[in-house]
Structure 1
Amino acid sequence: MTVAATAAISLDQLPSHQWATVLEVSKPGDAGQRDVVLRLTEIGFVPGEVVRIVATGVPGREPLAVRLGHTTFALRRHEAALVRVMPGASNHG
């Protein structure tokens, strides 16, 4: 296992307002997840994209307002958990 792999976390674990780089979207475990994974990929959660959580709902920190490029999306925590990121992206706009 590489150092990078050990530092990667799921998007739902990323602290608010910290930039990160998308590494991958998890492979779907079942038919229900397949639609979510496809949706996440279609809206731009692809390797190399920078992302950050800009706001969270109360209580339970859900939904998450996630900035991806120049667009903000609302994701449920279980959706964000499917996205693996590397915290500390420096290449954002």
Structure 2
Amino acid sequence: MKTLKDVEIGKTATVVKLHGEGPTRRRIMDMGLTKGAEVYVRKVAPLGDPIELTVRGYELSVRKADAEFVEVE
């Protein structure tokens, strides 16, 4: 299983499934990371956290802990 945390800088991935439950899952979905969404990894902060993404035409910063809940292909 490949997660959003594992995607390299400059690559695009497609969301396959969301893991987690409750408020965490809802927050991830509210940010636009839903099944079928294309995600471009723009850059990673110097210490590795957070990850900056482009999703649905806007920039989004996601913590690595949250990125582990997003399965991609």
Match of 1:42 in 2: 30
Q: What CA deviation, in whole Å up to 9, does each residue of 1:7-42 have, x standing for no partner?
A: x410001111101100011032xxxxx222111112
The one-letter code matched in structure 2 to 1:35 is P
Distance 1:14 1:73 in 2: 15
Q: What CA deviation, in whole Å up to 9, does each residue of 1:47-77 have, x standing for no partner?
A: 1110021011112x11100111101111110
Extract unaligned runs of 5+ from structure 1. Answer: 1-7, 29-33, 87-93
2:40 to 46, 52, 66: 52
TM-score, normalised to structure 2, is 0.91
More strand per residue? 2
Hey, which bits of structure 1, 4+ residues long, moved more than 4 A? none
The answer to whether 1:24 aligns with 2:17 is yes
Distance 1:9 1:55 in 2: 18
Extract unaligned runs of 5+ from structure 2. Answer: none
Aligned residues: 73
Distance 1:18 1:74 in 2: 16
The one-letter code matched in structure 2 to 1:18 is K
The answer to whether 1:81 aligns with 2:56 is no
- Among the aligned pairs, what percent are the same residue? 18
Structure showing greater Rg: 1
Match of 2:8 in 1: 15
Q: Compute the RMSD of aligned alpha carbons.
A: 1.1
Match of 2:56 in 1: 69
